[in-house]
Structure 1
Amino acid sequence: MKILHTADWHIGKIVNQTHLTEDQNFVLHSLIELIQSEKPDVLVIAGDIYDRAIPPVEAVDLLDDVLSKVLLELKVPVLMIAGNHDSPDRLGFGSQLLKAKGLHIEGRFQKELQPVVLTDEYGPVNFYLVPYAPPAIVRDILGRDDVVNHDTAMQAVIDVIEKQWDPKARNVLVTHGFVRGMADLEYSQSEKSLSTLESLGGADYVDVNRFRRFTYTALGHLHGPQTAGCERVRYAGSLLKYSFSETNQHKSVTLVELGATGDITLECKVLTPRRDMRKIKGQLHQLLDPAVYTGTTVDDYLHVTLTDEGELMEPMSKLKSVYPNVLSLEYEIKERCAGEDKTSAGAEYKQQSKLELFKDFYSDITGLTFDECKTAIVAEAIAAVDAEDRGR
């Protein structure tokens, strides 16, 4: 069976007051083209379909358009769960009616965890759809007092599944959360914490060993495509970059092929976005030089770091005249040498002249040398002020 695993669409996302719906429309229709060419047996979406519980109308319309094309035109069934950004009730509305069309949605966590069963030439594949739910909800629904965090909540869920399943069958779990093995995971700034207690012993995390008996576990939540310490437990990652911490990630969807005995092969399918998200750095005049930006995609979403000294006149306006989608701007701050003390008490400031004090201040803030040209300008300014004071 060929499974196309994706997650974290975050339809309706806004980054630095910029709506990304057009970019999401572009990449989702690229996904539709990939489905046309690869002809998977099922599309699995592992949560965070929308970016917030009450999505804008444009986001709802876009999801409706994409699912209609996949289900009605391409005849590919879709398995979808709610993530921590989704409203379980809104996402799951009408799910019973839509099953006849091949759309299986699990929005709110349910006590009865019946699989969605799809078949191929080798027989059935059981898909267990487990939407995101806080541990307190899992504890209450399952009546398990031992559920105290996300890890014990997931074990309680798996206990329910294993009471009814055939362990020798091909069993796929679809869920959403922080799953961690021995390997380090790659995090992004756009990923929302799952617990207010995450600093207390890693209450967010689920041990990857919980999933060792599943043929494949399709995860959502982390935006970088990666395994969670085991090849059979994988994050597909988001379709687009949603923060500048993701600039080095290569976004993709995961094509999973299940063999007759549960053997798997994985392939990452890269989708080209309408615009990339990048960081650039340099002095303002350099970044505005055609020799620098010619040949690059100037309408990418950019974070700009300026390395200029002193004040600049309207740098954002000048940058946007060349790069229309600058989303954030910062100035590089040179770090002070380790152990250097520039307090007034330590510098014997009372014995220093105004010029010496200003030179120390400049070097301390910028980390740069106060050269002769600057010295002459500041000395002239100080002399003028002193002369004005004496004339009063």
Structure 2
Amino acid sequence: MKIIHTGDWHIGKIVNEYHMTKDQEYILNQLLQIIKEENPQAVIIAGDIYDRSVAPVEAVELLDKVLGEIILDYNIPILAIAGNHDSPERLNFGSGILKTKGLYIEGVLKKEPAKVVLNDEYGPVNFYLIPYADTAVVRDIYEEPSIKSQQDAMKAIIERIKSNMNEKERNVMITHGYVRGLEEPETCESERPLSIGGTDMVSYELFDSFCYTALGHLHSPQKAGRDNIRYSGSLLKYSFSEVKQKKGVNIVHIDDKGSAHIETRHLIPLRDMRIIRGELKNLMDPEVYNAGNKEDYIKAILTDRGELLDPMRKLKSIYPNIMLLELEDRGNRGEYNILSKTSRGKSKLELFSEFYKYINDMELAMESAEVLSKIIQEVEKRGEDLEAN
């Protein structure tokens, strides 16, 4: 059986005040093309279909268009679950009717986990759809006070599945959360924490009975402990911590023995996310900005030492989708104490020059020192005049 595993669409996402719906429409059209070319027997969406519980109208319309094309035009079933960003009840609405068309959406976790059976030339493949649920919700569903972490919750769910599961058949798990492998999972700034203190982590060993586990939540494509336990990652980059990631979807082939063979189809965004670094004048040089797509979403780190006049406006004239602007961190230089012994007996100009160097890591220019000296003299004279009056 061939499956396309996706996750974390986050339709309706806003990144640094930029609406991403057009970018999402562009990337979802690519996904539709991949589905058309691959012609799988199922498409998985492993949670976080929307970015927030009440999705904007344009996000709902986009999802309706994409799901409709997959199911009605391509006649390919979709297996989807709610993630921690989704509203379980809203996603669950109409799910019973939609099943007749091949759209299987599980928004709300049930005591008896949802099971969808699809067949290929080798027989049945059983898909278990486990939407995200807080630990307290799972504890109430199973009426088990000992469930105090996501590990406990997932263990209880899988024990329930295994009580009726035929392990001689091919079984696939679809769920959403943090699954820890042999190494710490790669996380991103755009992922919403599930809990505090590590109680959200689930061991990969719980999924030993499944020939493939399709995970959602982490935005970096990666395996969790074993090759057949995978995150597909998000379809787009949603933070600058993801600039080095290659986004895509997992093409999963499950053979007659239940072995999963995974390939990746990469996605090319309408606008990439990039970090550029350098002095302002260099970043505005045609040789620099013509080297990449000026329409990309940009984070600029300026290395200039002196004062800059409205650098964001200047950069935006070249990079219209610049999102963030930072000055390079010059490190911790310790605390500056203007009352230190070494400061005694120095003129106001000398003290300011020292402070300027401390802040900017460079000497005050001669021209600036001359202007500043005149200002200090003028201020002192006005002070003397006020005292005389």
Is 1:321–2:283 an aligned residue pair?
Answer: no
1:214 matched residue in structure 2: 210
1:120 matched residue in structure 2: 120
1:133 matched residue in structure 2: 133
What SS class does the counterpart of residue 112 from structure 2 fall into?
Answer: coil
1:342 matched residue in structure 2: 336
Equivalent residues of 2:106, 2:114 under 8 A apart: no
Amino acid at match of 2:162: E
1:19 matched residue in structure 2: 19
The offset of 1:388, in angstroms, is: 5.2
Normalised by the length of structure 2, the TM-score is: 0.95
2:29 matched residue in structure 1: 29
Deviation per residue, 1:221-271 (Å, 9 max, x gap)? 000000112211111100001111111111111111111111121111101
Match of 1:251 among 225, 247, 253: 247
Q: Distance in 2 between matches of 1:253 and 1:72?
A: 21
2:157 matched residue in structure 1: 157
Q: Distance in 1 between matches of 2:58 and 2:98?
A: 21
2:292 matched residue in structure 1: 296
Is 1:281–2:284 an aligned residue pair?
Answer: no
Instruction: Provide the identity percentage.
Output: 49
Equivalent residues of 2:305, 2:361 under 8 A apart: no
2:348 matched residue in structure 1: 354
Match of 2:262 among 244, 266, 272: 266
Is the alpha carbon distance of 1:165 and 1:278 closer, same or farther for their aligned partners in structure 2, counting shifts above 3 Å?
A: same
**Gapped regions of structure 1 (runs ≥ 5):** none
Deviation per residue, 1:148-182 (Å, 9 max, x gap)? 01110000000100000011211100000011022
The offset of 1:344, in angstroms, is: 3.4
The offset of 1:121, in angstroms, is: 1.2
Equivalent residues of 1:277, 1:300 under 8 A apart: yes
What SS class does the counterpart of residue 344 from structure 2 fall into?
Answer: helix
Once the two structures are overlaid, the 10-residue window that deviates more, 327-336 or 43-52, is: 327-336
Q: Distance in 2 between matches of 1:368 and 1:216?
A: 58
Q: Distance in 2 between matches of 1:49 and 1:186?
A: 21
Q: Distance in 2 between matches of 1:347 and 1:28?
A: 65
The offset of 1:346, in angstroms, is: 3.9
Q: Distance in 1 between matches of 2:307 and 2:234?
A: 38
Is 1:4–2:4 an aligned residue pair?
Answer: yes
1:92 matched residue in structure 2: 92
Deviation per residue, 1:68-104 (Å, 9 max, x gap)? 1100111111000000000011111111111111110
Once the two structures are overlaid, the 10-residue window that deviates more, 285-294 or 37-46, is: 285-294
**Gapped regions of structure 2 (runs ≥ 5):** none
Is the alpha carbon distance of 1:97 and 1:347 closer, same or farther for their aligned partners in structure 2, counting shifts above 3 Å?
A: farther
Deviation per residue, 1:256-293 (Å, 9 max, x gap)? 11111111211111011111011112222211121211
What SS class does the counterpart of residue 352 from structure 1 fall into?
Answer: coil
Q: Distance in 1 between matches of 2:321 and 2:239?
A: 14
Is 1:67–2:67 an aligned residue pair?
Answer: yes
Amino acid at match of 2:320: P
Deviation per residue, 1:286-329 (Å, 9 max, x gap)? 11121211132001111112222333222222111111101111
Q: Distance in 1 between matches of 2:40 and 2:97?
A: 23
Amino acid at match of 2:267: L
Q: Distance in 2 between matches of 1:347 and 1:23?
A: 59
Equivalent residues of 2:80, 2:129 under 8 A apart: yes
Once the two structures are overlaid, the 10-residue window that deviates more, 376-385 or 153-162, is: 376-385
Is the alpha carbon distance of 1:347 and 1:291 closer, same or farther for their aligned partners in structure 2, counting shifts above 3 Å?
A: farther
The offset of 1:373, in angstroms, is: 5.3
Once the two structures are overlaid, the 10-residue window that deviates more, 148-157 or 241-250, is: 241-250
Q: Distance in 2 between matches of 1:111 and 1:83?
A: 18
Q: Distance in 2 between matches of 1:114 and 1:314?
A: 56
Q: Distance in 2 between matches of 1:81 and 1:341?
A: 52
Normalised by the length of structure 1, the TM-score is: 0.94
Is 1:382–2:376 an aligned residue pair?
Answer: yes
Match runs of 1:363-374 below 5 Å: 363-370=357-364, 372=366, 374=368
Match of 1:332 among 328, 334, 343: 328
2:189 matched residue in structure 1: 189
The offset of 1:126, in angstroms, is: 0.6
Equivalent residues of 1:336, 1:367 under 8 A apart: no
Amino acid at match of 2:285: D
Amino acid at match of 1:342: Y
What SS class does the counterpart of residue 4 from structure 1 fall into?
Answer: strand
Amino acid at match of 1:382: I
2:143 matched residue in structure 1: 143
Is the alpha carbon distance of 1:141 and 1:237 closer, same or farther for their aligned partners in structure 2, counting shifts above 3 Å?
A: same
The offset of 1:384, in angstroms, is: 4.7
